[in-house]
Chains A and B, each alone.
Chain A
Amino acid sequence: MFGSAVDYDFFVDFANAWGQQIEAREAMTKATGRPAPVIPSQVDAQTYFAAVARKGNAEVFDAYQSFASAFFVHRGIASVADLRLKVSDLFSAKASITGRRGLVCTGFATMGAEVLARAGATLDGFSVGIHASDDMVRDDKLEEQGHAIARMTRGGKAFSVSNQVIVQVKNALVGPDAIKWGNQSNPLFVGDGRTMDDGGRQDAGEGRRSQEGADAGKVV
């Protein structure tokens, strides 16, 4: 109607987000039997995922992906403080102008672990990986090269929560089915832990250099 959509990319994106929110709210209403708010709280999320606990993996994974895409947005820049954010911190953040709360991969993993546990999944741990050159490690310049996931199991099926996506592999950071991010020509360091902070610390200091790295198998 205005000629080109190029000049209105925010509103095009908002239309997409709003469509996802409408669908996610409909799914929440159907599952819980009560209307879903415009921006769901932590309790709303817990109630929703508890309500789908008897559903199969496909439905539960789809519920997470729809919910996470509709109500959360990756804000791009991560900091060490993000490793320590609790679920309540993530849900109490002010929503963006598209009605989605901003977080980074660590937040998605933390939030995903919480809500999927309500849906009957078990948290196996968190993993944090960084593609880093020796110079980057020496100079502590690791920003934007890291990624974090939650490792979980549900109904005997291992999977990873990677941002708003469920990757159906035990650890989406390593192995032949690993997701791609950062500068893959740099060695990959991966830390695992029971909490996100543990995973981050392992990765930063005592983590292992993954088989995927340039120096495969070398432990740092």
Chain B
Amino acid sequence: MRLQRTFGNAATTSLLTQDQPLGAALVVQRQPKPNPVDQAGRALRDFEAWADDEKKLQNVTDKAAVVGLDPKQAASVQAAAAKIVAYIPTMRSAAAKADPSIAALNTAVTLAKKASSLMKSRDQIDQLEAGHARNQSRDAVTQAISKVSQIDAGIDVKGLIKNLKAIEAALNGGGSLGDVIKYLNTTISELQKVRTEADKRADSAQRVDVLLRAFLTVNNPAFKAAPTAKEIADIKSLLAGD
């Protein structure tokens, strides 16, 4: 078995050292690689720990009073900023990917409503038409599932996909159209939240990048990627000035 590094190793080793049959050990799965934002977050937490140690060493009561930025820490913060900024297009794209899914689900709702209305008719043609609309609604949900699955950027869409698959199954079987419409609307609203969240994450990433570059500039006036006047103006209202 090919052992994975870091966390994976610990988990694998822990399993392999227990008295278990070989089969039990082989079910260990590779942990997903942390996304760049998580990696940057870990680097910044390491920086916080360094600042805390320095606070104690320098006998000051506040990390803000620590003097002398370790060049290794500066490099680590700079690398974190680069990781964050490189991930912004992925987050923006994740937000954009939610739009076709929302459109497909809105179509699914319209078709499910049509099917529900036609179902009330005693006309056989209407009944057939209702079945057709129901199938079209299901196809729209299937299409949405495929699109939602493409949303990444560290956004967990497993719950949404699970719900959509349940709706898909209800449309495929004889599930209540009333319930289908209700749950489709709930899922659309959740998906809109996912979209907003992805956009917010991208905006936050932009601000964190500017802040980290400001930090590097304060500690090294020759730093070449100092925030521009426009970047400062854009972020200023979000900084606590008082």
Chain A: minimal CB distance from B207 (Å): 8
Chain B, interface residues (CB within 8 Å), range: 35 or more
User: Are A7 and B45 CB-contacts (below 8 A) given A1-B205, A20-B241, A102-B65?
Assistant: yes
List which B189-210 residues lie within 8 A (CB) of chain A: 201, 204-205, 208
Q: Chain B interface: which of A93-101, A111-119, A125-133?
A: A93-101
Tell me if A14 and B65 are in contact (CB < 8 A). Answer: no
Interface check B95, CB cutoff 8 A? no
Tell me if A14 and B64 are in contact (CB < 8 A). Answer: yes
Interface check A77, CB cutoff 8 A? yes
Q: In whole angstroms, how far apart are the Cα atoms of A116 and B232 in the complex?
A: 29
User: Are A15 and B66 CB-contacts (below 8 A) given A2-B44, A7-B48?
Assistant: no
Q: Which residue of A lies closest to B200 (CB)?
A: A1
Which of A19, A23, A97 contacts B68 (CB under 8 A)? A97
Tell me if B67 and A19 are in contact (CB < 8 A). Answer: no
Interface check B156, CB cutoff 8 A? no
Tell me if B236 and A96 are in contact (CB < 8 A). Answer: no
User: Are A1 and B204 CB-contacts (below 8 A) given A15-B240, A20-B241?
Assistant: yes
Interface check A22, CB cutoff 8 A? yes
Interface check A73, CB cutoff 8 A? yes
User: Are A9 and B239 CB-contacts (below 8 A) given A14-B64, A18-B211, A97-B68?
Assistant: no
User: Are A97 and B205 CB-contacts (below 8 A) given A8-B45, A77-B60?
Assistant: no
Q: In whole angstroms, how far apart are the Cα atoms of A22 and B232 in the complex?
A: 8
Q: Which residue of B lies closest to A12 (CB)?
A: B240
Contacts of A73 in B (CB 8 A): 62, 64-65
Contacts of A9 in B (CB 8 A): 48, 63
User: What does the 1/0 interface line of B61-103 toward A look like (CB < 8 Å)?
Assistant: 1111111110000000000000000000000000000000000
Tell me if A38 and B232 are in contact (CB < 8 A). Answer: no
Interface Cβ pair total, 8 Å cutoff: 106
Interface check B177, CB cutoff 8 A? no
Tell me if A1 and B37 are in contact (CB < 8 A). Answer: yes
Q: In whole angstroms, how far apart are the Cα atoms of A9 and B62 in the complex?
A: 11
Tell me if A75 and B241 are in contact (CB < 8 A). Answer: no
User: Are A23 and B64 CB-contacts (below 8 A) given A10-B47, A18-B218, A38-B221?
Assistant: no
Tell me if A22 and B66 are in contact (CB < 8 A). Answer: no
Tell me if B64 and A11 are in contact (CB < 8 A). Answer: no
Contacts of A94 in B (CB 8 A): 67-68
Tell me if B65 and A99 are in contact (CB < 8 A). Answer: no
Contacts of B232 in A (CB 8 A): 22
Tell me if A97 and B60 are in contact (CB < 8 A). Answer: no
Tell me if B65 and A75 are in contact (CB < 8 A). Answer: yes
User: What does the 1/0 interface line of A24-55 toward B look like (CB < 8 Å)?
Assistant: 00000000000000110000000000000000
Which of A3, A11, A22, A96 contacts B65 (CB under 8 A)? A96
Contacts of B41 in A (CB 8 A): 2-3, 7
Q: In whole angstroms, how far apart are the Cα atoms of A100 and B203 in the complex?
A: 28
Q: In whole angstroms, how far apart are the Cα atoms of A9 and B67 in the complex?
A: 17
Q: In whole angstroms, how far apart are the Cα atoms of A15 and B237 in the complex?
A: 11
Interface check B59, CB cutoff 8 A? yes
Interface check B214, CB cutoff 8 A? yes
Interface check B219, CB cutoff 8 A? yes
The 10 nearest A-B residue pairs measured at CB: A19-B239, A76-B61, A1-B204, A99-B218, A75-B65, A2-B41, A19-B241, A75-B60, A102-B65, A16-B240
Provide 8 A-B residue pairs closer than 8 Å at the C-beta atoms, listed in order of the A residue.
Answer: A1-B205, A10-B48, A11-B211, A21-B218, A22-B236, A73-B62, A73-B65, A74-B65
Known: A95-B218, A96-B67. 11 other contacts (CB 8 A): A1-B37, A1-B208, A15-B240, A16-B239, A16-B240, A22-B239, A73-B64, A76-B61, A77-B60, A97-B67, A102-B67
